[in-house]
Amino acid sequence: MAGRTRSHSEERWALLPGTVVRCNGTRPNGSRCKREAEDGAVVCDQHGGAAPQVRRRAAERLIMTADQAAQSLVRMMEDTEVSFGVRAKIAQDLLDRAGLIATQVHQIIPTTEDPVMRFFEGIFSDPNNWEENPPHVAVEERVIDRPGDAEPVEAEIVEPQGESATDTPPRIAELIKAGAFERKPGQ
């Protein structure tokens, strides 16, 4: 992986599995580089792992191990000790890699009839779907007060005293009273 900066101490390198490859390059003080090598390569990007020829050769090495990896997967898939779910995933992965992916077909068929209307026609065309008694209305009728039905209520509009009832800041209220917002642009 280009740009990877995975570096480990000597103690940590002793604990890492053999699958993690250490860079074969040397540091300016003569000691061995502590970084991980690029995938498929033997050096890190600082010691030439980013060079095109090194990347090309690393890709070739990775491709060469694909057959071994596939054989390992087949052995795991055939092993009855491995859980069925894992074996099914391995089989699916192998089929996908072989290009035998399950086909997905989406058919778009133009229709001249409305599918919603077809649904309702299907429901109402079968007499078994009909009820003997119509259902009761679950929503009550809305009652509208008519002008002559209620007593008139006396009310008056009272101007607020003290603070303004609006949320308008005092400075804006002063500008409104002064008519600052009634002017036309350019005046």
For residues 23 and 45, what is the distance between their CA atoms, to the nearest angstrom?
9
H or E, element range at 43: none
Query: pLDDT tens-digit profile of 57-81?
Result: 888 888 888 888 888 888 988 888 9
Element (H, E) at 93: helix 84-97
Q: What length does the chain have?
A: 187
What single letter denotes the amino acid at residue 140?
Answer: E
Asked whether the predicted pLDDT for residue 138 surpasses 70, the reply is no
Pairwise pLDDT comparison (98 vs 139), residue with the higher score: 98
**Is residue 129 predicted with pLDDT exceeding 60?**
yes
pLDDT of residue 166: 58
How far is the C-alpha of 13 from the C-alpha of 1, rounded, in Å? 19
7-30 per-position pLDDT tens digit: 888 888 888 888 888 888 888 998
Exposed/middle/buried for residue 49 (C-beta within 10 Å: 0-12, 13-18, 19+): buried
Instruction: Supply 85's token pair.
Output: 């779910």
C-alpha 89/C-alpha 82 separation (Å) is 11
Number of H helices, E strands in the chain: 6, 0
Residue pair 8/16 in contact (Cβ under 8 Å)? The answer is yes
Coil, helix or strand for 46? Answer: helix
- Which contiguous run of DSSP H or E holds residue 167? none
Among 52, 51, 10, smallest CA distance to 27 is for: 10
**Distance spanning both ends of the chain, measured CA to CA:** 67
> Average model confidence (pLDDT) for the chain?
76
The answer to whether residue 112 scores a pLDDT higher than 50 is: yes
The whole-angstrom distance between residue 166's C-alpha and the CA centroid of its chain comes to: 45
* Secondary structure (DSSP) of 102-117: PP--------SS-HHH
